[in-house]
Copies of this chain bind each other. A is one copy, B any other.
Amino acid sequence: MQQPPSPPYYAVIFTSELIDGDSSYSQMAERMIALAGEQPGFLGIESVREGSRGLTVSYWESEAAVTLWKSNLEHLQAQELGRKQWYARYTVEVSRVERSYSFGDDA
């Protein structure tokens, strides 16, 4: 996020390692970012990939918004497909941001 909101808010940290990156994975990942952006309580997303390793943090207004996103039908289908064909491993951590500070042009 360029401008984090005032804490508290929620951050979902998604750390993943792909078996084998392919274009179908990239398409799904882009679709999930777009879909997340349409959900209630969505605040922003940061996603960085380096080879097979990916780190994505999505930000949410409340824990309820996190739960709603986790159970979104299209998202559930992507999670299932991911476990079958893309991910060697992943970890999801749901965290509550207690404070934040920024440096830079837009801070």
Interface residues of A (CB under 8 A from B): 1-2, 4, 7, 11, 13, 15, 17, 46-50, 53-55, 57, 63, 83, 87-107
Protomer copies = 2
Partner of A15, one of B15, B46, B90: B46
Question: Can you give 29 contacting A-B residue pairs, CB < 8 Å?
Answer: A1-B15, A1-B91, A4-B93, A11-B93, A13-B13, A13-B57, A13-B97, A46-B55, A47-B55, A48-B49, A55-B55, A63-B98, A88-B104, A89-B103, A89-B104, A89-B107, A90-B103, A90-B104, A91-B102, A91-B103, A91-B107, A92-B100, A92-B102, A93-B97, A93-B99, A93-B100, A94-B98, A95-B95, A95-B96
